[in-house]
Amino acid sequence: MPDVRVVNLTKKFGDIVALDNVNLTVHDKEYFSLLGPSGCGKTTLLKLIAGLIEPDSGEIYIGDKRVDNVPPEDREIGFVFQTFALFPHMTVWENVNYGPKVKNFDEKESETIVHEVLELVKLHERLGAYPNELSGGMMQRIAVARALAAGAKILLLDEPLGQLDAKVRNEIRYEMRKMAKDLNLTAIHVTHDQSEAMSISDRIAVMKKGKIVQVGTPQELYMNPASLFVANFIGESNFLEGSVAEANNGELVIELRGGAKVHAFGKGLARDERAVVVIRPEVLTVEKPSYRGKNVLRGVVEKISFEGTFIRYVIRLESEDFVIVIKPSLTERWFDIGDSITLSFESEKAHIFAYPEAGLMEEISV
Ligand SMILES: Nc1ncnc2c1ncn2[C@@H]1O[C@H](COP(=O)(O)OP(=O)(O)OP(=O)(O)O)[C@@H](O)[C@H]1O
Ligand SMILES: [Mg+2]
């Protein structure tokens, strides 16, 4: 089965640029997610790939074949909507048989196909049931079965878990991935839920305002966010503002607001330039006030919340900035609310960015 490739794809609705010159390759049999805040263009990109809407400019390829002029039903793509869009008055069998019927397959052939795909999604024993008699997870499998029976080799899933409650959602998100993998399908899964995308995807494209801002494996995005936006959208981060006090071949000393100096690595920043230091909450260690080291931030414990597997601390720094520190619950704890403490981190684990022109809050807001 082939790659899906979009080249310089742009789509406008009146004045709104829903997709702005997007380039993307999704590999054969990959489980790929489009992740981004509401309105960033995820559904628009899926609909363009499916052929449900036409681009203003750009190209779409499935394998080597350019498909922008191919009608949707001939693209071998199945679209699974958030609502699953099953026909409520039709049984499981009739829902799945819909594609073959519309395509005028002969009856014997359709029957074989429908049996096969219902076996594949393990719902053969429910072929007489109506959608309202099925669980959310089952409806989702029927929606996939219907797409497969209609000849889909590529699954486009638009918030396929969106209708389900949080607990069920967490359970069956892995099933979605497993089903695609077992059936050797390429899947493009749209979500605005970063933990969902992180836990099931081979790779993720993070989108913002009609553009793809970074593509990578979940680990790559988490460990090496390419921008402040991604550092904020994927996982949790502390953002500390400062300016470059020394710059030596990528080795930087940053003077933070409040006067603390920290060492970090970052290219492209010159002396006196404004900068933002990004530190993940689990990277900070909590030390006694007497601690002397290279990268230290002094402050007071403002809040402690026990969250099961981990404890979250809010620390008010001398600069009046707040930072979050996360530690496993079982870590030894010798301090309490109101205690003075010192935070420390390894230079390699901080990320440095130039201060954004639009302002920090504007840049990272979703
Ligand atoms: N048919 C349309 N007519 C006018 N504007 C549209 C249309 N479809 C999408 N848009 C606009 O294009 C932008 C991108 O919309 P899109 O539906 O792709 O976002 P999304 O990332 O899927 O968001 P959500 O997470 O809320 O589903 C939005 O500003 C939206 O209002
Ligand atoms: Mg959408």
Q: Determine the average pLDDT of the residues in 220-230.
A: 96
Check pocket membership of 162 for ligand 1, CB cut-off 6 A.
no
- For the chain, give the number of residues: 366
Our CA dihedral for 174, 179, 180, 183, rounded to 10 degrees, sits at: 160
Structural contact between residues 237 and 299, judged by C-beta atoms closer than 8 angstroms: no
214 and 74 within one domain: yes
Domain range enclosing 31: 4-230
Which has more confidence, 256 or 121?
A: 256
| Mean residue pLDDT across the chain | 90
Looking at the structure, tell me whether residues 66 and 106 fall in a common domain: yes
Q: Which atom of ligand 1 is nearest to the CA of 192?
A: 25
> Counting ligands in written order, which one lies closest to the CA of residue 207?
1
Instruction: Say yes or no: 69 and 158 in one domain.
Output: yes
Ligand closest to the CA atom of residue 157: 2
Neighbour count for residue 57 (Cβ, 10 Å)? 11
At 282 the pLDDT is 95
For residue 208 and ligand 1, the question of a CB distance below 6 A is answered with no
Q: Rounded to the nearest whole angstrom, what is the distance from the C-alpha of residue 188 to the centroid of ligand 1?
A: 17
Which residue has the CA at smallest separation from atom 4 of ligand 1?
13
Mean predicted confidence (pLDDT) in 331-340: 85
Residue 192 Cβ < 6 Å to ligand 1 = yes
- One domain, residues 223 and 280: no
Same domain flag for 291 and 250: yes
Asked whether 43 lines ligand 1 (CB < 6 A), one says yes
Ligand in closest contact with the CA of 18: 1
Instruction: Check pLDDT > 60 for residue 305.
Output: yes
**Band of pLDDT at residue 262, cut at 50, 70 and 90:** very high
What is the mean pLDDT of the segment spanning 130-134? Answer: 87
Position with higher pLDDT, 261 vs 111: 261
Mean pLDDT of 80-89: 79
**Ligand nearest the Cα atom of residue 36:** 1
How many whole angstroms separate alpha carbon 356 and alpha carbon 362? Answer: 9
Encode the chain in three state secondary structure: CCCEEEEEEEEEECCEEEEEEEEEEECCCCEEEEECCCCCCHHHHHHHHHCCCCCCEEEEEECCEECCCCCHHHCCEEEECCCCCCCCCCCHHHHHHHHHHHCCCCHHHHHHHHHHHHHHCCCHHHCCCCHHHCCHHHHHHHHHHHHHHCCCCEEEEECCCCCCCHHHHHHHHHHHHHHHHHCCCEEEEEECCHHHHHHHCCEEEEEECCEEEEEECHHHHHHCCCCHHHHHHCCCCEEEEEEEEEEECCEEEEEECCCCEEEEECCCCCCCCEEEEEECCCCCEEECCCCCCCCEEEEEEEEEEECCCEEEEEEEECCCCEEEEEEECCCCCCCCCCCEEEEECCHHHCEEEECCCCCHHHHHCC
Q: Are residues 33 and 168 in the same domain?
A: yes
Residues 110 and 224 in one domain: yes
pLDDT tens-place string over residues 133-184: 888 778 888 888 888 888 788 999 998 777 677 777 777 788 788 888 888 8
Query: In the listed set 198, 230, 262, which residue is the last one of a domain according to the structure?
Result: 230
Asked whether residue 269 falls in the same domain as residue 142, the answer is: no
Is the CB of 11 inside a 6 Å radius of any atom of ligand 1?
no
pLDDT at 357: 94
| CATH, residue 300 | 2.40.50.140
Q: What is the pLDDT of residues 266-284, one digit of tens each?
A: 888 999 999 999 999 999 9
44 lines ligand 1 (CB under 6 A): yes
The verdict on 290 and 217 lying in the same domain is: no
Distance 158 CA to ligand 2 centre (A): 7
Residues 332 and 255 in one domain: yes
Which among 197, 230, 263 is the end of a domain?
230
The verdict on 263 and 140 lying in the same domain is no
Instruction: Say if residue 318's pLDDT is above 70.
Output: yes
**Closest ligand 1 atom to 53 CA:** 1
Closest C-alpha to ligand 1, atom 11: 18
Q: Is residue 42 lining ligand 1, measured as CB closer than 6 Å?
A: yes
Number of domains comprising the chain: 2
9 and 151, same domain (yes or no): yes
Q: Is the CB of 87 under 6 A from ligand 1?
A: no
Counting atoms of ligand 1 from 1, which one is nearest the CA of 47? 18
Atom nearest to 210 CA in ligand 1: 14
Is the per-residue pLDDT at 1 higher than 70?
no
Residue 202 binned pLDDT confidence (cut-offs 50, 70, 90): very high
Q: CATH no. for residue 124?
A: 3.40.50.300
Band of residue 228 on the pLDDT scale cut at 50, 70, 90? very high
48-80, pLDDT tens digit by residue? 999 999 999 999 999 989 999 899 888 888 888
Average pLDDT, integer, range 72-92: 83
